[in-house]
Each structure stands twice: as structure tokens, then as C-alpha cells.
Amino acid sequence: MSELRDECGIAAVYHLPSESPSPLCPEQGIEHASRLVPRMLLDIQNRGQLAAGFTTFNPNRNQLIDTHKDVGSVTEVFRLAHRAGCESLMQEYAGRAAIGHVRYATCGKDDRSYAQPFERHHLLKYKWFSFAFNGQLANYQTLRQRLLSDSDHHLARETDTEIMMHEISREFSGDLRPRLIDAMRRVSQRFDGAYSLVFLNAEGDMLVARDPLGIKPLCYAKEGPLFAAASESVALLNLGFQAENIKSLLPGQAITIQQGQFEITRYSTSGQRAHCFFEWVYFANVASSLDDRGVYLSRTALGRELARLEREHDSVVLDRDTIVVPVPDTSKAAADAMAFQLGLPCMEGLIRNRYSGRTFIEGGEGRRRKAETKYTPLREVLAGKRVLLVEDSIVRSTTMRVLLNRIREFGGAREIHVRVACPPIIAPCFYGIDMSTIGELFAPAFLKDGPLTEEVQAAMARELGADSLRYLPVESIPRAIGFDSDQLCQACITRRYPTPAGQELFEQALENVRNGQDSGRTYEPSGEPLGCRS
């Protein structure tokens, strides 16, 4: 599913006041707790490879909070492959608290100014802050137009990150000096969408918050004086936190650190939940556990669902010439489980070239050519075999078409039967996944508001060039993940959105299709890149 990308990941660390440093703190001491952030960002780089950055707090320097960010991977931005360069950077930005971000964007320029965190300078320390977030505001256009309705206002960038920065700033305007939790409570009433965010000001106050629906994941841990948070648990586990101390922040909860006091508080009373199901299907690191559901176990459960369907339909000969092949890398757990249940070998018939570049930032022909160099079929594994090819999802179908052609032409497979560990993607996402129009999706043209029948899947298979194609049904998803369906955001496979602005954008997307105006992103008027996934 190399065509589909989430947009970013966040991290935070804070060494609370203490006479002795945490055992997990760098050997340089408390004021170097910020060194932990690049390590954390490496573990969540699966969530964004376009840019990276961090902001650190140190009361003993003139720049109380200071931000380093740039376009590039975590290794490039923080010079991790250059020992002297990295050490110099870590010394310059040493701090007892820090927030960090990795970014993949779907609009805006690929330059440093769009990288996060965003820092807002001010003479007053409590108004001088930096923040970063994972998600997307579905009501971005409404907020933007409201800000620009005042002719004195100007927005320098085409991104919802800047909108959020101004909305947060408004909470501290004039002589207002609210508690961070109260400011979060008020801005959340103006936001419609997905947002897990981290905030740090020049007084050393920190806020870590998860949106009221819990669409995006956010994990945290605290052992002694050291606190850390990240989009995924694997970043905390690899720092050395004990697994039993790593928890998911509940939807509508925020962690605040003010005047050295650590507190977890609810800022929203909404009882609704809408966890993005794609976190378990594809986005999250397979070593992570989100909301008490292990990613690996969820993907193996999806594989068992595929095996159950295979037995029920009994349409493919399962003999010694039949093998299961995952599309690297995130399909492997599902493929292994499916193969085990069916008594078939799971073979690495496709080898991923990890240094071929990023296909998801290429458009059209560029994406296809990149996909051709990204996977190498192994003829010695595939030749003459009946292949059950397991994929996470089919979004635009560009990569799948390339794979099928290469497996036949260069791999010499006898038959290729595609098995998708996800239902068809039939609707855009307005909460931070890179698919925002109906026209770019593969499945809607075949389903046309009808059910997913064997005939429909056969037509899809012919279009792709596969011998057969089978998707998981919608009901398999909550069963595999372990949540009730009303606790998951499944808008892209059900067309039912968990927020009013999301549903309105979908109606606009349908109208765009009817009017033949489905070329630009749904939340962008006249094709101009006004919306952005942060």
C-alpha cells in the first residue's frame, strides 16, 4: 500500500524537577533530556519522511525555547550519521523538555517553513510557544475564512497547522492567562477533525492532548521524573520505559506540566470514540500497541479472516504449487497468519528496495515508475506457482497493477490471486490520510453504491490483471482489532463520518463527482492547495 500515507507523528519528553536524573535520561544529565527526541522520531518515521524537527526548552539560555527543523529524514535533519555534527546540534539545542515531529504533507511547499514544530515568538514568555500535531482539521476552510474575514489578518502558509497556531494564540490574547487545560478546552470546541498535539512554551509549560474522538493515537509513559509521549508505543518502549508503564492517552484527555506539576485531565466530556482503524491495518509500527490493542495481533487476526473466507469460497486450488506472498512489509503478519491457517508456505516472493525513494510524493507516471523499482520479484520463488498475493489495501491501484505485471513478467507466476486484508476504500479521508477525492480511488467506479459481490470483485480483478480478487468484508475489521464498530472511524469504507464537517466534505466530494470537478482535493476551492495534512 505504498500509495497511501498518513501525514505525521509527534513526540514529547520532559525531565521533571528532581535532585537526580532518571536512569533513562542521557548520561549528559537532565538538561540533555531533549536528546531522546530524535531517537523517538526514528521509531515513528513510518508516519512521515518528508521533514522532521524539534523544539527544546532550556531556562539557562537566551533562546528559552528554540526550534531546529528541516526537510529530510530524521537521520538527515539531526545529522545522526555524522557524530561531530550531531553532537554539536545536541549541545546547541540541549534542554530539559522538548517536542518533536515527523511530517508527510499532501499540499504546501516541500520547504522548511512547512516543517513542524511551529514556533510563535512573543515578548511575554507564556505567549511564546511552539507546537506540533498529527491529524487534520475537517473544518479548516471555515476557520480560515473566519480568520481572513478581518482585513487586518494574513496567513503566510496554506496549512491547517498555521490555523491551529493562531487559534491557540487567541486563547492568550490581551491579558488572558488561562491554564493550559482551559485553553485546550476552548479551542477544542472550535476544531472539527483529528488532532493529537504537543505544546511547549517559554516558561517550560507543556501540554500533550488527544482529540475528543481519539481518531489519532497518542501514547505516554512516566517513570520517576521522566515523562515522554509519542504517537506510538514503540518509541517509548525503545527508550527503556517498562511496557506496563506505557499507556494510551484517552480521547479528550490532556497531560499538562506547569510549574513542575504533572497532571492528567479530561478537557472534553464526549463519550464517542472513533479510532482510525487504518492504524492497526497499516500505518502503525507492527511492534506498537495502541489503545490496548496490539498492532501485530490485529494484523494476524486479519490474516485469519482472509483464511476463513478462502475456505468458505473454495475457489482456488490449495496444493503444493500454491504459495502465499505478502506485499512488503506491513502485509507480512496477515500473510503469515493466513498461510498458517491454510497449511500453505508463506514465501518472500517480493523483495522491497528500501533505497528507491518515496513513491507517494510522485504523481501519475512518476509514481508508477517509482513502484517499478521498489519491488523485485524473486523468480526462483514465484515461477510456476499459484500465488495468493496478500496486500493491506488497494487505494488508487497504481502499485498493485505494477506488482501484478512484474510478478507475471519477471517472476513467472502461473496464477495470481489478490487477497486484501481490508474492505474496499470507497470514500475519501478528511482526518489526515492522503486520499481526499472519490475520483482517485479504485473501488467506487465498480461498486456504484451497490454491494461487494463476487461479480464485482471479478470485474476488479480483470481490470487489475489478476486471476481473482477478494476483499475482507467491513464486519471483519472490528472483529480483528477488538473494538465495536461504533468505536472506530471507518468512514473510508462505510461513508459514515464521525464529525459534522467530515460528513459535509463527503457530500461536497459527491457533488464534485456529479459536476465533473473531482480533480482537486475536496477541501480546496478551485484546485488551489488551501488545505493541508499536517
CA distance 493 to 511: 19
Is residue 482 domain-resident?
A: yes
Show the cell assigned to 526.
478551485
CA distances from 497 to 113, 193, 198 (A): 32, 10, 25
The whole-model pTM stands at 0.92
Among candidate residues 121, 256, 116, 123, the one with its CA nearest the CA of residue 184: 256
Is residue 336 domain-resident?
A: yes
Q: Determine contact, residues 100/40, Cβ cutoff 8 Å.
A: yes
Q: Which residue has the cell 512516566?
A: 222
Q: Are strands 193-201 and 97-103 parallel, antiparallel or unpaired?
A: unpaired
Sign of CA dihedral 213, 478, 106, 448: negative
CA distance 391 to 373: 18
Provide the domain count of the chain.
2
Is residue 522 domain-resident?
A: no
**pLDDT (0 to 100) of residue 355:** 72
Show the cell assigned to 498.
464521525
Q: Determine contact, residues 112/70, Cβ cutoff 8 Å.
A: yes
Q: Which residue has the cell 489503545?
A: 291
Residues annotated catalytic, as ranges: 8
Q: Do 232 and 145 fall into the same domain?
A: yes
Residue 185 backbone dihedrals phi, psi, to 5 degrees: -60, -40
Q: What is the 3-state secondary structure (H, E, C) of 277-317?
A: CHHHHHHCCCCCEECCEEHHHHHHHHHHHHHHHHHHHCCCC
**pLDDT (0 to 100) of residue 7:** 64
- Per-position pLDDT tens, the chain of length 534: 444 554 699 999 999 998 789 999 999 999 999 999 999 999 999 998 899 999 999 999 999 999 999 999 999 999 999 999 999 999 999 999 999 999 975 444 567 888 999 999 999 999 999 999 999 999 999 999 998 988 787 888 778 999 999 999 999 998 889 999 999 999 999 999 999 999 999 999 999 999 999 999 999 999 999 999 999 999 999 999 999 999 999 999 999 999 999 999 999 988 899 999 999 999 999 999 999 999 999 999 999 999 999 999 999 999 999 999 999 989 999 999 999 999 999 999 999 987 765 444 444 555 566 677 889 999 999 999 999 999 999 999 999 999 999 999 999 999 999 999 999 999 999 999 888 789 999 999 999 888 999 999 999 999 999 999 999 999 999 999 999 999 999 999 999 999 999 999 999 999 998 888 766 556 554 433 333 344
CA distance 313 to 326: 21
Number of CB atoms found within 10 A of residue 107's CB: 20
Among candidate residues 58, 76, 262, 24, the one with its CA nearest the CA of residue 67: 58
**pLDDT (0 to 100) of residue 353:** 86
CA distance 207 to 179: 10
Q: Do 389 and 445 fall into the same domain?
A: yes
Q: Do 299 and 266 fall into the same domain?
A: no
Residue 503 three-state SS: helix
Is residue 283 domain-resident?
A: no
Q: Do 256 and 306 fall into the same domain?
A: no
**pLDDT (0 to 100) of residue 455:** 96
379: domain CATH number is 3.40.50.2020
CA distances from 71 to 50, 81, 162, 333, 529 (A): 6, 16, 18, 32, 19
Q: Do 257 and 397 fall into the same domain?
A: no
Q: Do 220 and 340 fall into the same domain?
A: no
Number of CB atoms found within 10 A of residue 372's CB: 16
Q: Do 267 and 298 fall into the same domain?
A: no
Is residue 334 domain-resident?
A: yes
Q: Determine contact, residues 419/470, Cβ cutoff 8 Å.
A: yes
Q: Are strands 415-420 and 386-391 parallel, antiparallel or unpaired?
A: parallel
Segments forming the whole domain that contains residue 199: 8-271
Residue finishing a domain among 256, 271, 286: 271
CA distance 530 to 188: 22
Name 8's Cβ contacts closer than 8 Å, sequence gap at least 6. 47, 48, 101, 102, 103, 104, 116, 132, 133, 134, 432, 533, 534
Q: Do 99 and 178 fall into the same domain?
A: yes
CA distance 192 to 206: 23
Is residue 421 domain-resident?
A: yes
Among candidate residues 151, 166, 16, 41, the one with its CA nearest the CA of residue 97: 16
Q: Do 216 and 332 fall into the same domain?
A: no
Is residue 288 domain-resident?
A: no
Q: Do 92 and 125 fall into the same domain?
A: yes
Residue finishing a domain among 205, 238, 271: 271
Number of CB atoms found within 10 A of residue 101's CB: 33
Q: Do 483 and 335 fall into the same domain?
A: yes
Q: Do 245 and 361 fall into the same domain?
A: no
Sign of CA dihedral 336, 341, 343, 344: negative
Residue finishing a domain among 240, 271, 302: 271
Residue 435 three-state SS: coil
CA distance 129 to 3: 35
Q: Determine contact, residues 441/395, Cβ cutoff 8 Å.
A: yes
Sheet holding 253-258, edge to edge: 118-120, 129-137, 193-201, 206-210, 253-258, 261-266
160: domain CATH number is 3.60.20.10
Query: CA-based angle 353:434:469, to the nearest 5?
Result: 65
Is residue 125 domain-resident?
A: yes
> 279-282, long-range: CB within 8 Å, 24+ apart, which pairs?
279/217, 280/480, 280/481, 281/392, 281/393, 281/421, 281/422, 281/477, 282/1, 282/4, 282/330, 282/392, 282/393, 282/422
